[in-house]
Structure formats: structure tokens, C-alpha cells
């Protein structure tokens, strides 16, 4: 599997408050971003994989909702996370 337990802990440790804090908004957004990047690469090779395409659209929507929440709650954390993850160009 592309997302191991160690990789998840690494993501949450870097972007969350700790490696066990899996509910933090920043950690969730970072995890979704990692998964979106992986699915995007998969779809470049497998263009007709519509189930994965549907999953990708759902993940992008979930990440968008979390980003909107973070933007409303704390704009500075939102801006720093966007810059760190490289989501917006």
C-alpha cells in the first residue's frame, strides 16, 4: 500500500500538533494532499479508471471544505499551510 502507518505518522507529526493528533485540521489537509497527489499520478497512467477519478473528486471536495473551515477560523494558519503544501500557485 502506498500509505503506510509510518508515513501517516510522519505527515501528522510534521503538520499536526503531534504524530498521534490525527484530528487536527492541518494534519487532515496534509494527508488529503498526499493522497490527492498519489491518485493524480495513478490517473495519468490509467486514464479510464473512473472509480479512482470519482474518489479523487471526493477527496478534493473534502480538502476544500477543511481549507474553508481553516480559512474562516484562522487565516494566518491557512496561509502558512497553503504555502507549505504548495496547493495554490
> The domain containing residue 52 runs over which residues?
5-16+23-85
> pLDDT of 40-79, one tens digit each?
999 999 999 999 999 999 999 999 999 999 999 999 999 9
Residue 89 has pLDDT above 60, yes or no: no
Overall domain count for the chain: 1
Q: How far is CA 65 from CA 3, 25, 49, 70, in A?
A: 22, 10, 25, 9
The reported pLDDT for the residue numbered 21 is 82
**Residues with Cβ within 8 Å of residue 42, at least 6 apart in sequence:** 49, 52
Q: How far apart are CA 47 and CA 84, in angstroms?
A: 29
At 60, which CATH number? 1.10.287.10
> pLDDT of 9-33, one tens digit each?
999 999 988 888 888 999 999 999 9
pTM greater than the 0.85 cutoff: yes
Q: How far apart are CA 72 and CA 70, in angstroms?
A: 5
Query: Which among 21, 13, 14, 4 has a CA at the least distance from the CA of 84?
Result: 14
The reported pLDDT for the residue numbered 67 is 97
pLDDT category of residue 37 using cuts at 50, 70 and 90: very high
CA torsion sign for 10, 13, 16, 20 is positive
Amino acid at each position: 500500500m502506498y500509505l503506510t502507518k509510518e508515513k501517516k505518522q510522519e505527515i501528522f507529526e510534521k503538520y499536526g500538533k503531534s504524530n498521534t493528533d490525527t484530528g487536527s485540521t492541518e494534519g487532515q489537509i496534509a494527508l488529503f494532499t498526499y493522497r490527492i497527489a498519489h491518485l493524480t499520478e495513478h490517473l495519468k497512467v490509467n486514464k479510464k479508471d473512473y472509480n479512482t477519478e470519482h474518489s479523487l473528486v471526493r477527496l478534493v471536495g473534502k480538502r476544500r471544505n477543511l481549507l474553508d473551515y481553516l480559512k474562516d477560523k484562522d487565516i494566518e494558519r491557512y496561509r502558512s499551510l497553503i504555502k507549505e503544501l504548495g496547493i495554490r500557485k
